[in-house]
Chains A and B, each alone.
Chain A
Amino acid sequence: QVHLVESGGGVVQPGRSLRLSCAASGFILTNYGMHWVRQAPGKGLEWVAVMSYDGGTQYYADSVKGRFTISRDNSKRTLYLQLNSLRAEDTAVYYCCREVQDAFDLWGQGTVVTVSS
C-alpha cells in the first residue's frame, strides 16, 4: 500500500528545535518531489517547503526560511523537516505530501506541533 506516515510532533518551548519525520511506503521516494504543508489551529493550509525528486533543490516559504530545513534519507525512505528557532506561530498540524504533476496527490495523516512556554 502507498502511504506516508508523519511523526515527531510534540510540545516544545519557543526558541527550541524539533525534527519531524515522514516515512514513505509503497513507492520510491527519490522518484518524487516531496513537500511539507501545515495548518495552524483555525487557519488555512500553508505551504512550507519542497525537496526536488533528485534532492538537488529545496525551496521554502518566507515564513520559515532560515529556520526550517527539509532533507531526506533515501536508505530509510524518510523525509525530514528540521524546525529551529520555533515560534508560537509555528504551532500547527504538519503534513508531508507527494508531488505528481505539480499537485499533491498523497498526504500523510499529519503530526501536531505545539510551541508554548
Chain B
Amino acid sequence: QSALTQPASVSGSPGQSITISCTGTSSDVGRYNYVSWYQKHPGKAPKLLIYEVSIRPSGVSNRFSGSKSGNTASLTISGLQAEDEADYYCNSYTSSSTRVFGTGTVVTVL
C-alpha cells in the first residue's frame, strides 16, 4: 500500500494553468477508473474536486479537470486564482479493495 506519487509542490501565476500528476501502479491507478482528487486548506476538511478520473461534482468550478493515461492521473487547474492555493491529493481504489492517497501537492499562486 505505497502512497501514490505526486510532486511536492507546483506553482503558477494568476490566470495560468498548472497540472498535478499522480503516479501509481497497474494495481491501482492503471487498473481502475476510480481516481478522485481533493483540495485541502489548512484546518479544514478535504473537498472533493473530481471523481472517476474526470467527473466534476455539482458546484465544483469547471477550472478543475482530470484525466488519466496508463498509471498516471492528472489534475489541471486553469485560470489559477489566489483561492486555489491549497494542498491537493489524489486517491485511487486498489486491487486489494482498499484505497490509497497520493503524497500530496502544495499549490502556490505566485
Contacts and interface: CB of A to CB of B under 8 A. Distances in A.
Nearest to B105: A44
Contacts of B104: 44-45
Interface in B53-102: 55, 57, 87, 89, 91, 93, 96-102
Interface string A86-104: 0000000001010011111
Interface stretch (A9-17, A66-74, A106-114): A106-114
A107 B46 contact: yes
A62 B96 CA distance: 11
A102 B101 contact: no
Most buried by A among B45, B47, B98, B104: B45
Indicate the size class of the contact surface on chain A: 20 to 34
B52 to A, nearest CB: 6
B36 interface: yes
A47 B103 CA distance: 12
Interface residues of B, number: 28
A26 to B, nearest CB: 16
Contact of A103 (B1, B48, B101, B103): B48
Given A44-B3, A44-B89, A50-B98, A101 B46 contact: no
Given A47-B91, A109-B45, A110-B45, A104 B102 contact: no
A61 interface: yes
Given A46-B101, A47-B98, 13 more contacts: A35-B99, A44-B3, A44-B103, A45-B101, A46-B3, A60-B98, A62-B1, A103-B52, A104-B38, A104-B46, A104-B91, A105-B51, A107-B45
